[in-house]
Amino acid sequence: MTVWIVVSILALVLSPMVWLRPSRKQSGQMALRMEARRLGLSMQLAPQKWPHWLPQQPPSPCAQYCRPRRSASAAQFCYWQTEAGVWLNQWREPLEDPLLLAQFSALPANVYKIDAGQQMIALYWGERGEASVLVAIDGVLKGLA
């Protein structure tokens, strides 16, 4: 009887420790974030106000991967991906620039937005996929920086 009491007390003490263990999704996200850091990308969770016309509302805050721009005179733009390979600006006009379309074609379908400002280029991503997807994202950001 004493053994069962000791076992049940140990189970009660150790059960909260299981809750602290990260889930598979969280472990995968952390692995991607460490790989992004190794590649030289900056990552942060950024709150976003998404346009109402998107078919599915992306999460907020969303994972933002960014890289500094090399030239302050580089083109500034902001595009949202409504479905795989379809990029729209804030007025819902489709992207027609063949150079940008060629770059964006390497991106996965769960990239929600690309925002290129004067100093930084940022990509908002759902963080699903393997490290090879992150390498493709890094290549696109390097090409556009």
pTM of the model: 0.80
Burial environment of residue 3 by CB neighbours within 10 A (0 to 12, 13 to 18, 19 or more): exposed
Q: Tens of pLDDT along 57-95?
A: 888 898 999 999 887 777 889 999 998 889 999 899 999
Mean pLDDT of 23-41: 87
Residues 6+ apart with CB under 8 A from 142: 67
CA dihedral sign of residues 77, 103, 67, 59: positive
Per the structure block, which two tokens stand in for 98? 């063949």
Q: What's the pLDDT score for residue 21?
A: 82
pLDDT value for 74: 79
What pLDDT does residue 26 have?
84
| pLDDT of res. 132 | 84
Tens-place pLDDT, residues 111-122: 999 999 888 999
Indicate the domain borders of the chain.
26-144
| pLDDT for residue 17 | 75
Alpha-helical regions (H) of the chain: 2-20, 24-39, 98-104, 131-144
